[in-house]
Amino acid sequence: MISSLFSMRAAASLLVLTSLIACSKKDAEPEYVGTSWTADGKETKIPGGSTQVNASTIDLSINQAGVGNGPVSDGLYLVIPKSVGTYDLATSRNGAQASYASDKLYTATSGTITVTTLTATTLKGTFTFTGTDKFSTPSTTKTITNGKFNRPL
């Protein structure tokens, strides 16, 4: 009888402990929907922007307005092939393109765009690139890192 009582207490304690562990688990944070990147050490996150689906590419145009009626402070334009995969921005044969605008227009000369998810309703992936302002003498470059996109289609 005592061993049965001990077994029941042990089982009850185990059940309570299991319940507490399950309840203490934090919910996952919601996934950010939009586009983000880092340029010159400054992270930019923009939830909006324009998405255009074409026959073979998806074009993302993302702009962040300046303060008040000021000029656009940051802008990003990505042309992404409509297929999951990694695309080299050093070649134009795959259809991928990227550019960044701040004080100048920087067109990607190296880097990648990676599409991780492409469904009828969602486009997700990452990007990083170095862009060159070909209109400056000497030309200047800008490196875009930590780029992510999670966009509804």
Which contiguous run of DSSP H or E holds residue 126?
Answer: strand 122-133
**pLDDT digit string, tens, across residues 81-106:** 999 999 999 987 899 999 999 889 99
What pLDDT does residue 92 have? 77
Helix and strand tally (H, E) in the chain? Answer: 1, 10
User: How large a percentage of the chain has pLDDT more than 70?
Assistant: 76
